[in-house]
Structure formats: C-alpha cells, structure tokens
Homo-oligomer: A and B are copies of this chain.
C-alpha cells in the first residue's frame, strides 16, 4: 500500500480569481507582506501494492484524465 499525492495548480498564465480573493481578504484582515496567493487542489490516493515506474506512469495518465485539466492546469505526482 502506498500513498500517491497529486498536486494540481492552474498554469502560471491562467488567472486565479480564488487566489486573488484570498489575497484581498489577507489585506483586509491586516496580514501584511503577502504578494501573491494561488489556489490549487491536492489529491491523496491510496494505491495497492508497489508503485514502480510503470505504475506511476499509469497513475499519471489517471491524473491527466480525472484529476487535472492539462489545458489549464499543471500537476505533479509523488509517492509519500
């Protein structure tokens, strides 16, 4: 059993209104010195058995199909 974590973030060139809203809230609440916030998603998958390179490639395929939209999002997989 392994835990695979997938981090999904909007590509840098895509506007992130949620992040901008959070940045505005930080300002209003008096938290200073924060120049940018971006919001993304984090997935934790419990995967049976060993995660070798072939299995990781399969999971990358899964992430690109189900978890992320590769047109506007970048994602990263790692085994934890």
A residues in contact (CB < 8 Å) with B: 1, 7-9, 19, 22, 25-26, 29, 31, 33-49, 58-59, 62, 65-67
Contact = CB atoms under 8 A, between A and B. Distances in A.
A42 B42 contact: yes
A44 B38 contact: yes
Given A22-B67, A66-B25, A31 B46 contact: no
Nearest to A36: B46
Nearest to A62: B31
Contact of A22 (B22, B33, B43, B49): B43
Given A29-B65, A62-B26, A66-B26, A42 B45 contact: no
A66 B7 contact: no
